[in-house]
Amino acid sequence: MRILIANRGEIARRVIRTAKRLGHETVAVYAEPDTGAPFTAEADRAELIGPATLAESYLSTERLLTAAATTGANAVHPGYGFLSENADFAHAVLKAGLIWIGPNPEVIATMGSKIEARRLAAEANVPIIPGYSDSQNPAHLTSAAERIGYPVLVKAAAGGGGKGIRIAPTPAHFANALTEAITEAERSFGDGRVIVERYITRPRHVEVQVVGDKHGTVIELGTRECSVQRRYQKLLEEAPAPNLPESTETGLRKAAIRLAGSIGYDSTGTVEFVVDDETGDYFFLEMNTRLQVEHPVTEEITGLDLVELQLRAATSLPLGVGDITFSGHAIEARINAEDAAAGFVPQTGTVTVLSLPVSARWDAAIEVGTPITPPYPPRIAQLIVPGANRDVTISKLAAALDGLLIGGVVTNGGFHRWLIDRAEFRAGHITTRFLDEADLPNDYGTEEAAAIAAFSPAGPGPWAGGDRRFTPHQSHRVASVRSLNGDIHDVVPVPGPSVDGVVNMRGQSHTFERLTRSSRWAPTSSGAHGSANAVVAPFPAVVADVHVEAGQAVDGSDPVVVIEAMKMLHTLTAGGPGMVADVRVAPGDQVETNQILVTFEEEDPVREEANA
């Protein structure tokens, strides 16, 4: 086959790796910002499909099929995200006479509706969370919430990725939660329908990997724990899920097979469940009809290649896996370009240093020189570690995080290192609410960075030679570390790996810049996100909506601009009363950190004094 990969980054490289091993040719497609990206170089052919705008590149069915025709591809692999669960795209691929490397489009459409998926799960005797979706009338939904009992969850009936989900802890919160969920669902999926469900107070997110072929065979490959989440976005996964009662583990796996078998599932997919950590009860959540980001942990404990199984199923071959043996444990840490100490905001930059730990699997989108830019998701790699058991695997992951160096862009490596030392994680009782409830540190590795101030010895190494005065900073937040008294430190090497001025301190990469005569005494930024007379972007994003215009009076809590980042909508408010002077952005604009979005008129001291 000649396989066009309708995706980018690490999943494109992952598919290329298996395809090459099996003797298939590959075609990479790329948007302009991905020119020269590693995945384009590793494919047999690479085809430019459009600009950065997703609708004109990776989400354009027309451009993807044109690329397939131009390059002579006869199969399409959708990867994950983008169009991977778009039934219309799958139909278009098949209509063009190409092989679709995924499940039947009808199954994608059916399971893409949470309402229909719930119905099918119930028919397959899979437990579902008590809920209501018979009517979309707000009054009926409100009555249903009262019958179900608070707290309740309001979630979009279509789509996934954590969008269109709100929690209403009491009746007083329900109307607002309903409005926000509907608005986000309409924007994200073009479908404002919602489901009201009982909210489980100690929920774990546990999923089961399933694979089917076109001969009626459906198998399950065990459980995965995916409870480490922020805003419903997974950050760390492991297989098998720890500390499940035997009856729960068995029930989950059998339920997944029943559901997948009942719909004739014929590719790789995941049946996801909510498990009550207090009782062990489990309920169907949704089914993802694609390969998952966390699939490597299942591969590590089974020895199977899930991309290979996808290809076999798509070409009508039997799975042919025989008896499946589960061995050991595996954990995957998603390495994202984001500043965990500043609320996990996405970061941009160019990778200047990349040094990888030994004895770990590294599925990555990046190499030295790779730029990290919007509008793409901040995920840049997966760090996967297998071990003989869970305790051994955690120790190996700690060592791997301590040995990982990424310079030039901030990552969440320090967050992962902090996380795996938490008692709740070690005990295997993390819930999906953990990060919302935990006392997260306001920085990762800064204390260690400050502690290395000392005189630098002569000799080889990144700190040696010439003028040895450097300023330490986390590559993601220069100002925050400079604000440690604003001092300039002399530094020496510290225990742990270091390359070209980048040092790992408990999982967090820190960059040390050699100061020039002019920069040594240069004033430093306060780190603020702009002045009192402007609203600025707190992180790289895309403008989703603008609520104000020049000359409009606003109060402090008035929404001004809505931006989209990390698959979520973020509302920026005025921050104080005033009059809008200038609106500098429009919906669809891409903005960078600290970019001014809206300005306000300067206060008139005379008028203020008169009004006092």
CATH superfamily membership of 205-437: ATP-grasp fold, B domain (3.30.470.20)
Domain 534-611 has CATH 2.40.50.100: yes
Query: Mean pLDDT over residues 119-136, rounded?
Result: 94
Which pLDDT band holds residue 467 (cuts at 50, 70, 90)? Answer: very low
CA neighbours closer than 13 Å in the CB half-sphere of residue 401: 29
* Highest-scoring range by mean pLDDT, 154-158, 380-384, 507-511, 576-580: 380-384
* Highest-scoring range by mean pLDDT, 40-49, 462-471, 495-504: 40-49
Residue ranges per domain, the chain? Answer: 2-101, 130-198, 205-437, 446-520, 534-611
Distance, CA of 52 to CA of 365 (rounded, Å): 17
Which pLDDT band holds residue 106 (cuts at 50, 70, 90)? Answer: very high
Backbone angles phi, psi at 126, to 5 degrees: -100, 125
Pair of tokens at residue 486 = 């604003």
DSSP 3-state percent helix, strand, coil across the chain (nearest 5): 30, 30, 40
pLDDT at 549 over 50: yes
What is the CATH topology of the domain spanning 2-101? Rossmann fold (3.40.50)
pLDDT at 258 over 60: yes
Which pLDDT band holds residue 603 (cuts at 50, 70, 90)? Answer: low
What is the pLDDT of the chain when averaged over all its residues? Answer: 86
12 and 80 Cβ atoms separated by less than 8 Å: no
Query: Mean pLDDT over residues 579-585, rounded?
Result: 93
Distance, CA of 172 to CA of 170 (rounded, Å): 5
Between β-strands 361-364 and 379-387, what pairing exists: parallel, antiparallel or unpaired?
Answer: antiparallel
CA 515 to chain centre: 36
pTM: 0.79
CA neighbours closer than 13 Å in the CB half-sphere of residue 530: 19
pLDDT at 411 over 70: yes
What is the CATH topology of the domain spanning 130-198? Dna Ligase; domain 1 (3.30.1490)
Between β-strands 99-100 and 75-77, what pairing exists: parallel, antiparallel or unpaired?
Answer: parallel
Distance, CA of 355 to CA of 363 (rounded, Å): 14
